[in-house]
Amino acid sequence: MIKVEGITKLYANDRGKTKGKETKDIRGIKEVTFRVDEGEVFGFLGPNGAGKTTMIRQLMGFIKPDAGFAQIKGLDCWQNSLAIKALVGYLPGEMNFLEQMSGLEFLNLMSGMHGDRLIFRKRREVLVKRLELNLKQPIRKMSKGMKQKLGIIYALMLDAEVLILDEPTSGLDPLMQKVFIDLVLEEKSQGKTIFISSHMFPEVERTCDRVGIIRDGELAGVEGIQKLRQAQQRTFDIKVEDEGQVQLLRERGLAIVAVNGTELSVQVQGDLNPLLSGLALVNVKEFAQKTTELEEAFMHFYEGEGRF
Amino acid sequence: MLKQEGKKIIGYSLGLALYEWIVTWVYPIIIQSPAIEEIPKSFPLAVKRAFGVTTGEEVDLSYEAYISAQLLGRIWTVIIAFYGISTANVLVAQPVEQGFMAYPLSSPVSRVEILNTQIGVLLTELALVTGTTLGGIYTATARFEISIARWQYFRLGILAFSLASAISAYSLFLAVLCATKEESERYASALTFAFYGLDVVSSLSDRFSKLKYLTPFGLFRPQEVLQRKVLPTKGFLVLGIITGVNLVLAGILFSRKDLAV
C-alpha cells in the first residue's frame, strides 16, 4: 500500500554543510526505503529531529524529494498528491488551528474540503463521544490535549483507507492514550493501512505490526514487533533481604549490572522466567522495572545484530 | 477565513469612516475662515505638491482638493499599503509558518485552489475597506450638504482598489516566496517604502517627476482624477497588470514549492 524507495530530502540550509561531514550535519532524510502492506500498522520511530516528520511530509506530498520516490497505492506522493489525499486521513505533528474557530467549525470546514460525505458526520459523532470533546468550545480555549483530540477526530472521521499519524498521542492523558490505541486497533481490524510516527515505544508496541527506526535521517532497520519485543532488554531494580540473597541470585546466572548492598539491578533480554524463578528463592523487598527508552531498546537490538 | 478577519475589517473601515466624517464636518467651517487662503501660501511649494495641495496662484478650496490633502493623497495610501502587506502575510505566510496550512493541504483540494481562496479573501477585504472609504465620503458629504461628483469618486474608488490590489499582490508573492512571515513582511515593507518614497520625491519637483513612472503610487493621483472627471484607464490597466502578474507568479510558485507544514 505504501512504498518508499531510496527517498532523500536534505534541507537547503544544510546542503553546504553536509558536503564535508555528511552524517553529522544532515537534516532531513537520506535514502530511506521501506514498504507498508495493506492492512498493516507500521510504526516509524526515532528520537526528536531524526527525520520522522520529513518522511511524513514526503508521504503527504508537501515536499518534493531530492531523490527516490514515495508511493501510496501505486500513486506518486508528489506528482499525484491530490489523488493521494483523497485516500489519506492525516494527523499533523503540531496542532495549529485557526484559534477563533470552534472545533465544530473546523471539522465542518475540513469535511467540506473532503467532499462532505454523510459518513464523516456519523463517524465524527462517534469519535466525539469516545474522546469526550466539546466541539462547541472555541479552539483558543482548548488545552493541548483537547486540540490533539480534535486532530484525531479529523483524521479518523474521514474513513480513509490509509491513516498517516504524526505523534498521535502527544498531549493525551493515559486514559485517552488507551482510547486512542483502541481506536487504532479498530481501524486496523477494518483493514485500514496505518502509518504512525512516534518516539514513544508503548503506543507503537501495542498497535504496530512492524516498526522502522530512523536515526539521523537514515533508516536503521525495519523489524516485526514480536522480534523486537523478544529482543527488548529490560532492567529491573530489586531489593532483597540480605547480601547472601544477592549472592544466591548471582549464582543463578542472572545478569546483575549493579549492586549496592541489598539493592541490585538485573538486566533481562527476552524470557523473564529465569528472573522469576530466581526471585522465588529470595525474600523480595522492592521490585521495579525501569522504563526502557526507545532509543536504548533499539540500540540494544541492533548492537546484538552487529549493525551499529 | 473572511470571518476570521472580520474584526480587523470592521476596525479599519470604522476608523476610516469616522476620520472622513470628522474632516468633512470641519470642511464647511474651514472654508468660511478668512485666513484659509493664506495658510497654504505659507507652505513651501514642495510640501504642497507632496500632499496634493494645488500649487497654482489661486488656492483651491474645493472639497476634492481638501479630501485629497487630508486623506486620499497620502494617509489613505499608507493605511491601505500597510493593510495589504499585513493581510497578505496573515493569509498565506502565517498559516504555512504556524502549520495550520497542513489541514487544507491534506485535503483533495489543489494548492492553486487553496491560494485562490486566500486571494479571494484578500481582494474582498480590500474591496470592503475601499468601499467603506467611499461610503464614508458619500454619507459624510450628504450629511453636511456638500455637493460632490459621486460617479467620479466611484471611479477613484476603483483606482484605489487597483492600487491596494497591486501592493497586496506583490506582498502575497513575497509571502509565498520567503521562508518566514517575518522575512516576507520585511521585504514587502521595504519595497513599499521605496515605492512610496519615489512617489513623494516625484511630487516635490518637476525635475524628479519622471520617478512616478517607477512606482505604483505614481498612478494614484486622487485630486487629478476627481477634478479632471476622466476615467483613469491607464492606472487601472497598469495596476491590474502588476496585480495579475504577481498573483499568477505566486500561484505557480505555491503549487511547486516545498511546504514544510
Q: Say if the Cβ atoms of A63 and B259 lie within 8 Å.
A: yes
pLDDT the model gives residue B204: 84
| Chain A closest-CA separation from residue B174 CA (Å) | 19
Pick A2-221's CATH classification: 3.40.50.300, 2.160.10.10, 3.40.50.1820, 3.50.50.60.
3.40.50.300
pLDDT one-digit tens code per residue, A85-109: 999 999 999 899 988 899 999 999 9
Q: Which of A171, A169, A206 is nearest to A41 (CA)?
A: A206
Q: Is the pLDDT of residue A232 over 90?
A: no
> What is the mean pLDDT of the segment spanning A217-228?
86
B215 inside domain:
yes
> What is the mean pLDDT of the segment spanning B56-75?
83
For residue B102, the chain A residues in CB contact (below 8 A) are 60, 62, 90, 92, 94, 96
For residue A98, the chain B residues in CB contact (below 8 A) are 1, 4, 100
B257: nearest CA in chain A? Answer: A63
For residue B106, the chain A residues in CB contact (below 8 A) are 60, 85, 88, 90, 92
Which of A63, A90, A100 is closest, CB to CB, to B106?
Answer: A90
pLDDT one-digit tens code per residue, B84-124: 999 999 999 999 999 999 999 999 999 999 999 999 999 99
Average predicted confidence (pLDDT) for chain A: 87
B139 inside domain:
yes
> Within a 10 A sphere around the Cβ of A94, how many other Cβ atoms?
15
Overall residue count recorded for chain B in this entry: 261
B7: nearest CA in chain A? Answer: A100
Are A6 and A159 within 8 A, CB to CB? no
pLDDT one-digit tens code per residue, A248-294: 888 888 888 888 889 999 988 778 888 999 999 999 999 998 766 55
Judged by a CB distance cut-off of 8 A, whether residue B259 touches chain A is yes
Burial A241-266 (b: 16+ CB within 10 A, else e): eeeebbeebeeeebeeeeeeebebbb
Reported as a pLDDT band with limits 50, 70 and 90, residue B224 is: confident
| Cβ-based interface (< 8 Å): residues of A facing B | 57, 60, 62-64, 82-83, 85-86, 88, 90, 92, 94, 96-98, 100-101, 106, 110, 113-115, 154
A165: nearest CA in chain B? Answer: B106
pLDDT one-digit tens code per residue, B3-53: 888 899 999 999 999 999 999 999 988 888 877 777 767 777 777 777 666
pLDDT the model gives residue B205: 82
**What percent of chain B lies above the pLDDT cut of 70?**
95
For residue A154, the chain B residues in CB contact (below 8 A) are 103
pLDDT one-digit tens code per residue, A121-131: 999 999 999 99
Residue-range definition of the domain harbouring residue B213: 6-256
Name residues whose C-beta falls within 8 Å of residue B130's C-beta, 6 or more positions apart in sequence. B80, B157, B160, B161, B164
> Within a 10 A sphere around the Cβ of B220, how many other Cβ atoms?
26
For residue A85, the chain B residues in CB contact (below 8 A) are 105-108
The DSSP call for residue B91 is I
Reported as a pLDDT band with limits 50, 70 and 90, residue A138 is: very high
| Chain A closest-CA separation from residue B124 CA (Å) | 20
For residue B98, the chain A residues in CB contact (below 8 A) are 96
State how far the alpha carbon of A271 is from the alpha carbons of A192, A211, A230, A264, B168, in Å: 32, 21, 7, 19, 67
Which of A62, A96, A114 is closest, CB to CB, to B108?
Answer: A114
For residue B99, the chain A residues in CB contact (below 8 A) are 92, 94, 96
Q: What is the pTM of this model?
A: 0.84
Q: Is the pLDDT of residue A14 over 70?
A: no
Number of domains in chain B: 1
pLDDT the model gives residue A297: 62
Distance CA B13, CA A119 (A): 42
As a three-state string, the secondary structure of chain A is CEEEEEEEEECHHHHHHHCCCHHHHCCEEEEEEEEECCCCEEEEECCCCCCHHHHHHHHCCCCCCCEEEEEECCEECCCCHHHHHCCEEEECCCCCCCCCCEHHHHHHHHHHHCCCCHHHHHHHHHHHHHHCCCCCCEHHHCCHHHHHHHHHHHHHHCCCCEEEEECCCCCCCHHHHHHHHHHHHHHHHCCCEEEEEECCHHHHHHHCCEEEEEECCEEEEEEEHHHHHHHCEEEEEEEECCHHHHHHHHHCCCEEEEEECCEEEEEEECCCHHHHHHHCCCCEEEEEECCCCHHHHHHHHHHHCCCC
pLDDT the model gives residue A46: 85
Which of A62, A86, A100 is closest, CB to CB, to B108?
Answer: A86
Distance CA A107, CA B28 (A): 54
A94: nearest CA in chain B? Answer: B99
> What is the mean pLDDT of the segment spanning B148-162?
93
B82 inside domain:
yes
pLDDT the model gives residue B13: 94
Which of B107, B109, B260 is closest, CB to CB, to A62?
Answer: B260
Q: Is the pLDDT of residue A222 over 60?
A: yes
| Chain B closest-CA separation from residue A19 CA (Å) | 22
For residue A97, the chain B residues in CB contact (below 8 A) are 100, 103
pLDDT the model gives residue B52: 62
pLDDT one-digit tens code per residue, A158-180: 999 999 999 999 999 989 999 99
> What is the mean pLDDT of the segment spanning B137-142?
96
Which of A63, A86, A100 is closest, CB to CB, to B4?
Answer: A100
A97 DSSP β-pair partners: none
What ipTM did this prediction achieve? Answer: 0.82
For residue B255, the chain A residues in CB contact (below 8 A) are none
B83 inside domain:
yes
- Domain spans of chain A? 2-221, 233-291
Q: Is the pLDDT of residue A19 over 50?
A: no
| Chain B closest-CA separation from residue A81 CA (Å) | 8
Are B129 and B13 within 8 A, CB to CB? yes
pLDDT the model gives residue B78: 95
Q: Say if the Cβ atoms of A113 and B260 lie within 8 Å.
A: no
Judged by a CB distance cut-off of 8 A, whether residue B100 touches chain A is yes
Pick A233-291's CATH classification: 3.30.300.20, 3.40.980.10, 3.30.70.600, 3.30.70.1150.
3.30.70.1150
pLDDT the model gives residue B16: 95
pLDDT one-digit tens code per residue, A39-63: 999 999 888 888 999 999 999 999 9
Are B184 and B171 within 8 A, CB to CB? yes
pLDDT the model gives residue A300: 61
Q: Is the pLDDT of residue A306 over 80?
A: no
Name residues whose C-beta falls within 8 Å of residue A239's C-beta, 6 or more positions apart in sequence. A262, A263, A264, A284, A285, A286, A287
pLDDT the model gives residue A240: 92
Reported as a pLDDT band with limits 50, 70 and 90, residue B185 is: very high
Q: Which of B250, B91, B89 is nearest to B180 (CA)?
A: B89
Name residues whose C-beta falls within 8 Å of residue B10's C-beta, 6 or more positions apart in sequence. none
Q: Say if the Cβ atoms of B4 and A60 lie within 8 Å.
A: no
User: Hey, of A88, A90, A113, which one would you mutate to test binding to chain B, going by the most B CBs within 10 A of its CB?
Assistant: A113
Bigger pLDDT: A111 vs A198: A111
pLDDT the model gives residue A13: 57
